Structure 1
């Protein structure tokens, strides 16, 4: 427990070495992530609808 202060000191030292993205890069990556999430949501919604329709069709036989 005595090393907690040293741990946080080391964390701060390492965080200063991190290469943070520029504002333009961050905006670009955010748009890419949001577009990917939206595309995956649409894809899985369509797959879910298709599978649901298949089950309804099969159960109606």
Structure 2
């Protein structure tokens, strides 16, 4: 009886393998998903890659070939998102913990950034005007 209970609670090896996540598989799924998206776009465009088996029922009209190409793009997009989504799940949990600034703080920080950009750009314009004659003089010596 005890031996039977141990066998019932013993985990299945196949299920263990299927439940285990391998990072290489995610990378491979992402790369293949991107490849399938590009393949679908090329099929949809029709100039680089075209379907020539037009005697098959699924490819016998232009509309069916377009639907097939869109289906291929959707399959690639789903595969790509399935590969990328686990990388964003921890980010979503962290984003819920963030204390977001209010409107006044955002405006203040944005004004500071744009002001700094204007000051730095004016600095470089002044340096350009100041050093332009010197570089023109150096270019004149080389000719």
TM bracket (short chain): 0.7 to 0.9
| CA deviation vs aligned residue, 1:5-56 (integer Å, no higher than 9, x gap) | 5543322111101121111000000000001000100000110111112223
- Please list every run of 5 or more consecutive structure 2 residues that lacks an aligned counterpart in the other structure: 1-25, 27-81
Match 1:16 to one of 96, 101, 106? 96
Over 4 Å off, 4+ runs: 2-6
- In the other structure, the counterpart of 2:52 is none
> In structure 1, what is the Cα distance between the partners aligned to 2:131 and 2:109?
33
* Greater share of helix: 1
Give the paired residue count: 60
Higher relative contact order (CA 8 A, sep 6+): 2
**Structure 1 residues 36-55: aligned runs within 5 Å:** 36-55=116-135
The two structures, once aligned, show a CA RMSD in angstroms of: 2.4
- Please list every run of 5 or more consecutive structure 1 residues that lacks an aligned counterpart in the other structure: none
